[in-house]
């Protein structure tokens, strides 16, 4: 039954003093079921604590967007939402780009400013910390190392990280396919280098002849890209033990959801790496989770910070894969919030999937800013506010909000003064973080890197000599290509059907794959 047939929910009685239009907006947020409290309605510059603005818990898997100019309060909005999700038993994943979300694990500090904000919005503010785990890509920084094998990361996402063009991406896909079918495990980057080197050798060229082959020029580009990637210290992100994204779905004793904070300050100067790695985490969840349909609460809410970096220079095929992943992961109980400066940073097909919107202030200092402002206004439903003006005068911690109601219909656009987070609004020091990491139940599982036998070792293996070698002058260590080409063991290995060493891997939308445990 439509909202027009049932009528909107009644506004709180204490909000009756509001003008009629403001009462209509307030009534759109008077939900009967469990919901998160975002803040209080702003009307004509006045905050009305008796007109709360909320978001129903069951619609958090319908995805969302948190946008706004630098310094407008996006990070605190993430913290506010994450706290309330945790309190209601929903695990949360946060990408911490600047390193200032670690305070979510510690109670906040009372201050005049916090007290004034709480009074404005009718919040009974109580300092509280929330159960949190801290992670770091490849162990670079304070956190439990998050690693992926090259095999599971897949050719599509790796091509994005390496900056390969479409033709080179297709060739990399062919290399992965060959390794998959031959049971050659690509654990780290040296495994991939070994396979590329073999396939361009005289012995290996025939292996791909029937499927188009691998040109020496393209292989050279891939190898050079890998070399540059490793030179920047990126090799640590690939290897074992590979992180199991199911560890993001845990709750603490007492039933609160665990907030998984991926600490990224150590790699914030390598944005393409961390944005693509975040996509791998999301794609891996999509790959592994079962369908659950509509549920009373999400299984996980995933905040994807600096989202525009994922979409910059992305191919159409890559964007199509993102769109399909976002569309389908909803039915697996995962909500995704993209965090960026303006909605235009997100492609239209993805933006259309984001039912919950929190838009902080925008600046309009330049003609380009003016265009972004107009484009942002056009993405909102018709409103009782002059959004083009309002979005330029909102203060820090204020936003324009529209969400999906309990019936699935969008709520009226509301200007909101947001509540204050109850946890610490700032980072904890490194020593405290390190202590929390060592105390984690996950530390022993992931802390120590493992380098077991994989493609590199198998391709480089040489048979033991049958007799004592003749003394010869010492010579330089053979190159990787020489090791591969000279490998006697590989001749039979490469021509096998792969049954002795492994099986062909089935890959998902992004070419990601996980070896079943």
191-241 residue pLDDT tens: 999 999 999 888 888 888 776 778 889 999 999 999 998 888 888 999 999
Q: Give the model's pLDDT for residue 310.
A: 82
Q: Model confidence at 471, in pLDDT bands (50, 70, 90)?
A: very low
pTM of the complete model: 0.86
Q: Model confidence at 462, in pLDDT bands (50, 70, 90)?
A: very low
Q: Give the model's pLDDT for residue 311.
A: 86
Q: Give the model's pLDDT for residue 465.
A: 44
User: Which distant-in-sequence residues (6+ apart) come within 8 Å of 123 by Cβ?
Assistant: 37, 117, 419, 420
SS (H, E, C) 276-307: HHHHHHHHHHHHHCCCCCCCCCCCEEEEECCC
19, pLDDT greater than 90: no
**CB-count exposure of residue 207 (10 Å: 0-12, 13-18, 19+):** middle
Lowest-confidence region among 56-65, 133-142, 380-389, 455-464: 455-464
Q: Give the model's pLDDT for residue 517.
A: 41
DSSP-derived pairing of the beta strands 356-359 and 398-402? antiparallel
Q: Give the model's pLDDT for residue 294.
A: 80
Q: Give the model's pLDDT for residue 211.
A: 67
Specify which residues 133 forms β-bridges with: 260
8, pLDDT greater than 80: no
Q: Model confidence at 480, in pLDDT bands (50, 70, 90)?
A: very low
CA–CA distance from 280 to each of 92, 152, 175, 385, 474 (Å)? 17, 9, 19, 39, 45
- The span from the first CA to the last CA of the chain, in angstroms, equals 46
State how far the Cα of 398 lies from the Cα of 411, in Å rounded to an integer.
18
Q: What is the pLDDT of residues 104-147, one digit of tens each?
A: 999 999 999 999 999 999 999 999 999 999 999 998 889 999 99
Q: Which residue, among 79, 241, 22, 254, has the nearest Cα to 152 in the 3D structure?
A: 241
State how far the Cα of 327 lies from the Cα of 315, in Å rounded to an integer.
18
Residue 370: both structure tokens together: 């003016």
Q: Domain locations in the chain?
A: 3-71+257-419, 131-255+429-457+477-517
Q: For the domain made up of 3-71+257-419, give the CATH fold.
A: Rossmann fold (3.40.50)
Q: Give the model's pLDDT for residue 439.
A: 94
Q: Which residue, among 34, 33, 30, 35, has the nearest Cα to 16 in the 3D structure?
A: 30
State how far the Cα of 359 lies from the Cα of 381, in Å rounded to an integer.
13
């Amino acid at each position: 039954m439509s909202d027009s047939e049932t009528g909107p929910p009644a506004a709180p009685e204490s909000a009756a003093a509001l003008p009629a239009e403001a009462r209509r907006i307030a009534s759109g947020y008077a939900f009967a079921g469990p919901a998160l409290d975002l803040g209080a309605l702003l009307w004509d510059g006045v905050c009305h604590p008796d007109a709360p603005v909320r978001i129903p818990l069951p619609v958090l898997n319908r995805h969302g967007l948190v946008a706004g100019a630098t310094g407008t309060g996006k990070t605190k909005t993430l913290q506010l939402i994450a706290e309330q999700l945790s309190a209601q038993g929903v695990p949360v994943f946060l990408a911490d780009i600047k390193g200032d979300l670690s305070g979510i694990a510690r109670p906040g500090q009372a201050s005049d400013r916090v007290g004034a904000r709480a009074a404005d919005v009718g919040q009974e503010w109580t300092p509280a910390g929330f159960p949190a785990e801290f992670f770091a890509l490849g162990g670079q920084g304070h956190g439990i190392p998050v690693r992926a094998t090259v095999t599971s990361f897949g050719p599509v996402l790796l091509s994005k990280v390496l900056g390969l063009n479409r033709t080179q991406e297709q060739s990399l896909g062919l290399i992965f396919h060959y390794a998959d079918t031959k049971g050659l495990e690509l654990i780290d980057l040296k495994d991939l280098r070994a396979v590329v080197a073999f396939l361009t050798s005289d012995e290996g060229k025939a292996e791909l002849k029937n499927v188009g082959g691998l040109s020496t020029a393209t292989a050279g580009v891939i190898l050079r890209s890998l070399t540059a990637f490793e030179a920047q210290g990126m090799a640590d992100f690939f290897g074992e033990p590979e992180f199991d994204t199911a560890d993001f779905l845990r709750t603490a004793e007492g039933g609160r959801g665990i907030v998984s904070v991926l600490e990224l300050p150590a790699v914030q100067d390598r944005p393409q790496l961390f944005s693509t790695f975040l996509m791998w985490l999301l794609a891996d969840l999509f790959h592994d989770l079962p369908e659950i349909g509509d549920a009373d609460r999400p299984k996980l809410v995933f905040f994807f910070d600096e989202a525009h970096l994922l979409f910059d220079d992305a191919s159409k095929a890559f964007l199509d894969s993102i769109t399909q992943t976002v569309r389908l992961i909803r039915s697996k109980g995962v909500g995704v919030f993209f965090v960026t400066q303006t909605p235009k940073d997100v492609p239209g097909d993805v933006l259309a999937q984001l039912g919950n919107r929190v838009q902080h202030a925008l600046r309009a200092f330049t003609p380009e800013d003016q265009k972004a402002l107009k484009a942002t206004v056009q993405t909102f439903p018709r409103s009782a506010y002059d959004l083009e003006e309002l979005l330029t005068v909102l203060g820090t911690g204020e936003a324009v909000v529209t969400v999906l109601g309990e019936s699935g219909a969008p709520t009226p656009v509301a200007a909101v003064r947001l509540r204050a987070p109850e946890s610490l609004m700032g980072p904890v020091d490194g020593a405290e973080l390190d202590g929390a990491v060592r105390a984690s139940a996950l530390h022993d599982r992931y802390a120590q890197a493992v380098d077991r036998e994989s493609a590199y070792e198998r391709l480089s293996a040489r048979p033991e000599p049958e007799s004592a070698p003749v003394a010869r002058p010492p010579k330089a260590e053979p190159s990787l290509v020489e090791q591969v080409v000279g490998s006697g063991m590989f001749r039979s290995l490469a021509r096998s059907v792969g049954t002795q060493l492994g099986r062909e891997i089935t890959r998902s939308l992004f070419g990601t794959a996980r070896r079943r445990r």
